[in-house]
A and B are shown apart, each in its own frame.
Chain A
Amino acid sequence: MNTIQRVCLTGATGFLGRRLVQRLLTDPQLQVRCLVRPTSDVDTLLEPLSPEQRARVEVVRGELHDAGYLRQGLAESDVVYHVAAALGGNTSTLFLNTVVPTRRLMAAASAVNVGRFVLISSLGVYGTRELRRWQQVDEQAALDPRAEQRDPYTFSKVRQELVARELSAELKLPLVIVRPGVIYGEGRSLLTSRVGLQVGPLLVRMGGSHPLPYTYVENCAEGVKLAGLVPGVDGETFNLVDDDPVTGHQLVRYLRRQGQKIRSVWIPGMCIQPLSWIYATYSRWSQGQLPPVITPYRSAAIWKPLRYSNAQAKHKLNWVQPISTEQALERTIAG
């Protein structure tokens, strides 16, 4: 790739996208073009920026299903960061808002000769069910072969990766895939499904001794930025998780020490699989009166103790976690 002058990104007004824009603008030579929806509020994106930085940001409004808009939006871009993704909704909605736009975006990127396409995937795509407890998970681990048995979000991200790889080969569009862990930061709860399930006001903690594959949003944004700008990594995939991961037990204790009231019950790790089996059996018997949100397959994928490696990002992207985990937790709680 020649010298990078203009990068383009989707999802710029989102949780990660805003931070990525700020990180990109620390490079004084970069022009950043943001593809945003017609009704998106760009104030939160532009307010933290200095006047000089704002002058280097171009906001282009349109819909990702509009091929003409995409070609125009991506024109003259050296790198495209595809950050936009649906986080909620049922499976069809997630596919419609995640996989389908990826196809269109990659086709448009190829048509205007973009130098690199960076896809933000998820650490959840691995087929962890088949892995041993406490095994280290690096980028060589296989994708989940039965992703449809997982949650809709993971299913859509696995499909998105497969589609992106297929199109990258077909269109000869250089692709880099980033798989962030659970992204947290100011404005987002630290108590995610990796810790347990929120049932009304009660947190049902699942296990708690396994390290949580979390990444602070600023740290993640730095890794994503590098995935687009570092030369010679086309075709690579990078896990992005922070060092010094905390466990569910540690996180809940920490939050309580900070004064947060958390009403919870604890399910020991050894009970998760039997209870999941009972729940799934009841769900089947009742023909879905209680939806099959907990199954042995899903439980093994989410709550099995594993260690995720970020060595490849450190080695090939020279990624160094800018904010320590301790500082990140403090900032998140303060925010």
Chain B
Amino acid sequence: MTTMTSTEPTRRSSSTTNADAIESSAPSTQAIPLGDRPVRVAILGCGQIADAHLGQLQRIRFAEVVGVCDSYEDLAYQAGVRFNVPQFTDLDNMLQVAQPDVVHIATPAHTHAPLAIKLLHAGCHVYVEKPFTLDVAEADRVIEVAANTGRRICIGHDQLFDPMWLRARQLVQSGAIGEARHVESILGYPIDGKFGALVKGDPNHWVRKLPGGLFQNTISHPLYRITDLLPDAEPVLLGNWLRRGGLDFPTELHIALEGEQVAGSLTFSTHLPPQRITRIYGTRGHLAIDFDGQVIRRAARPRMPGAFAKLEMPWRGFWDSCGNLGRNMWRFACGDIHYFAGMKNLFEAFYRSLQQGTEPPIPVAEIRRVTGLMDRIFEHCRSQDSQETT
């Protein structure tokens, strides 16, 4: 099965940001490596995404789930009973009784920063589901506390560790498509889906109250798939958000990001069926990464001239499809196709970094950069919105 090994390179951070300054200036305390013992993990918040965390944690041999906690006793109960782990409704009690090394924060976004700060002060390492915080100011506070307490933080940018993305990165680094120049990221998110319907039906839903509304809770994934290849700290932004279908809050987002070497475009649409697709365009071809289909389609520029190229292209597409089919058949036979495979890989990489006392898989500067970019996108859209209104 595909796993992240300790030699797997961490996500590089190619921009110098305030987070670096925070890390270097703060009187940081060095975290003590956990060593080879199993990592004790607790989950805070037992909603939908907690199921994915618990499911993937069951697959990690060197992790032990020591507790789940939710202020709703029924939610804590269902998670505790199904995954056979102790359940709590009070965070302090869980910390005292379960003594976790790492706590995963899987609560609504507006609670992330205060909970992360509390947990860091309590001596826990913290894994925060996306989005990291409500804005970069909150992110800075969390990063500072982590530096002061010598505890590690990790963000749930798990699709960067999905087998498809890891392979796409390898292909890009091997020069399969030349130099990467543009990344196009699409997220289809039907508003009548399981979670979207809740947001749509409740004017007071917590998602609607986020600074970036529905997008703040959802665009992290397509955005970090762009920023992973777009190193600029502050790319130029174009685009806007839109309201459709008679809804009183924005549901469509189209943003272009212009960096110095690489550009990107992000499309979030509630009118598209669920899909997670990213295309990387290079100087010699492109890759289409379909996370749901677990395939990468490669397209290179034709080598044959004129009409012969029209035969060459489908022929190469045919062999590319055969390769994808063969790989997925092998993975299926090995029991290696899992929707949240990237999450497991990221957990493992984070826990190994804690055991060995090495840098976490996603640098703090990268967490801050993506959070800051989201702030800028929402600010940009708000200003466009107000211009159109006036």
A interface with B by C-beta (< 8 Å)? 37-40, 63, 88-93, 95-96, 99-100, 103, 148, 155-156, 159, 163, 285-289
Contacts and interface: CB of A to CB of B under 8 A. Distances in A.
A91 B78 contact: yes
Interface string B122-135: 00000000000000
Contacts of B51: 90-92
Given A38-B202, A287-B59, 20 more contacts: A37-B201, A38-B201, A63-B204, A90-B194, A92-B48, A92-B50, A92-B75, A95-B74, A95-B75, A95-B77, A96-B72, A96-B74, A100-B72, A103-B74, A155-B78, A159-B74, A159-B78, A286-B335, A287-B58, A288-B59
Interface in B36-72: 46-48, 50-51, 55, 58-59, 72
Interface in B185-232: 194, 200-204
Contact of A289 (B78, B200, B336): B336
Contacts of A91: 51, 78-79, 82
Contacts of A63: 202, 204
A90 B48 contact: yes
18 contacts: A37-B201, A38-B202, A39-B203, A92-B51, A92-B75, A96-B47, A96-B72, A100-B72, A103-B74, A159-B74, A159-B78, A163-B74, A285-B335, A287-B59, A287-B335, A288-B59, A288-B338, A289-B332
Contacts of B202: 37-39, 63
B61 to A, nearest CB: 11
Interface of B: 46-48, 50-51, 55, 58-59, 72, 74-75, 77-79, 81-82, 194, 200-204, 332, 335-338
A38 B203 contact: yes
A65 B232 CA distance: 44
Contacts of B336: 289
A116 to B, nearest CB: 24
Nearest to A155: B78
Contact of A148 (B46, B59, B72, B78): B78
Contacts of B59: 287-288
A89 B335 contact: no
A86 B338 CA distance: 27
Contacts of B72: 95-96, 100
Nearest to A102: B74
Contacts of A156: 78
Nearest to A147: B81
A148 B82 CA distance: 6
A90 B55 CA distance: 13
A92 B335 contact: no
B51 to A, nearest CB: 6
A289 B337 contact: yes
Contacts of A93: 47-48, 194
Contacts of B55: 288
A93 B74 CA distance: 11
A303 B33 CA distance: 52
A148 B80 CA distance: 10
A38 B201 CA distance: 7
* A-B interface, 5 closest residue pairs, ranked by CB to CB distance from nearest: A286-B335, A99-B74, A148-B81, A289-B335, A39-B201
A92 B201 contact: no
A11 to B, nearest CB: 14
Contacts of A285: 335
A199 to B, nearest CB: 16
